[in-house]
Structure 1
């Protein structure tokens, strides 16, 4: 299908090109866009992010991406949030100040309170709790690359994999067609690329 592609949302926060290059490495078609119409016409949507939650939500709302994302979810378009992008999928965050999120997955973003260096930065292993489409072909205990100072508190039903950094940290989450990774799959070698391939395959499948 020639019109099958993934939209990587550009709202001014995140290393978008590295995500795009990771998809292109296995032949996926994707574009970096700040056009809501393009987001809604795409087969899958990536919400990346690096930085602070309140600034990100302000940009997303200003550009109308909160509305576009909710419409995409209603259309059953697969959505993948990466790092801060994953956190934005939740109801709220206490980072800097209490801020409402997109509310696509139930839960809240909290600051790490552990006797370890913050941010949690570097390679850590995945404990797969509940398989989903994103984790197909990914081995339990695979190492992936994290950079974050906040983590999600969520319902167990939406938790697919976690890691341990002083406490158990949600690493892969999902709710219906909405997925999130706290780590950067585009920087996580073979396991990360496998997840992006899975997301691409999920995006280009024909859906009812």
Structure 2
């Protein structure tokens, strides 16, 4: 039976390309900001482009941070893409202005430390062992990035040995930064699976298969 996925519409993101990419996995996809529909879906995909502050403002206008928080509290899958990943962190800093994020993970989204910004192009990703997100993909697989900000330090420390540590993938553009995170029901990528051809399609299929 096909899974039901909501591509969350909060005024930011490549909604139709994300919709088409997830539909390629065989899932039923709805693009909406409706609270109940987003809560009831098997999976919630949160895209995002542009400024951190604008994305958070749009998200809160449709109670998106509540939807994300409630879904995760109940173990319901959520996946963030690009700025949709960044807003899951504690804060974003752009042009010296700090904006609170969803605070699912500690850490700061800030400017990339690189000679050329924005970072626009294809990169390989350093993936930890046992990743479900990148299952079946070769180490030299490339994904498409386009962004000027990222998370350069992973700040979450697991002190309870009974809690499984998130799997954090990295890549480098001038300086290493977080490329993807798998944390139980919460997955996120800085790159764009929906713009990454067959590799992105395989990754999204891996996600839908966990729903």
Given the two structures, how large is their TM-score scaled by the length of structure 1? Answer: 0.91
Q: 1:159, CA displacement in angstroms?
A: 4.7
Residue-pair matches, total: 201
From the superposition, tell whether residues 128 and 150 of structure 1 become closer, same or farther in structure 2 (CA, over 3 Å): same
Is the 1:130–1:160 contact (alpha carbons within 8 Å) kept by the matching residues of 2? no
Name the structure 1 match of 2:64.
65
- SS where residue 116 of structure 2 aligns? coil
Q: What are the Cα deviations for residues 29-82 of structure 1, in whole angstroms up to 9, with x where unaligned?
A: 111011011111000110100110001101111211111110110111111100
Mapping 1:28-177, distance limit 5 Å = 28-96=27-95, 97-114=97-114, 116-152=115-151, 153-155=153-155, 157-177=165-185
Q: What CA distance in whole angstroms lies between the structure 2 residues aligned with 1:106 and 1:91?
A: 5
- SS where residue 128 of structure 1 aligns? coil
Q: Once superposed, which parts of structure 1, at least 4 consecutive aligned residues long, lie more than 3 Å away?
A: 155-159
Is the 1:131–1:160 contact (alpha carbons within 8 Å) kept by the matching residues of 2? no
Q: Which residue, out of 189, 205, 208, partners 1:197?
A: 205
Name the structure 2 match of 1:206.
none
Q: What CA distance in whole angstroms lies between the structure 1 residues aligned with 2:84 and 2:155?
A: 18
From the superposition, tell whether residues 172 and 131 of structure 1 become closer, same or farther in structure 2 (CA, over 3 Å): farther
Is the 2:25–2:204 contact (alpha carbons within 8 Å) kept by the matching residues of 1? no
Q: What CA distance in whole angstroms lies between the structure 2 residues aligned with 1:63 and 1:130?
A: 37
> Is 155-164 or 34-43 further displaced after alignment?
155-164
Is the 2:123–2:144 contact (alpha carbons within 8 Å) kept by the matching residues of 1? yes
- Aligned-residue Cα RMSD (Å) equals 1.5
Structure 2 runs not aligned, ≥5 long = 157-164
Q: Which residue, out of 182, 186, 193, partners 1:185?
A: 193
- SS where residue 68 of structure 2 aligns? helix
Q: What CA distance in whole angstroms lies between the structure 2 residues aligned with 1:173 and 1:180?
A: 5
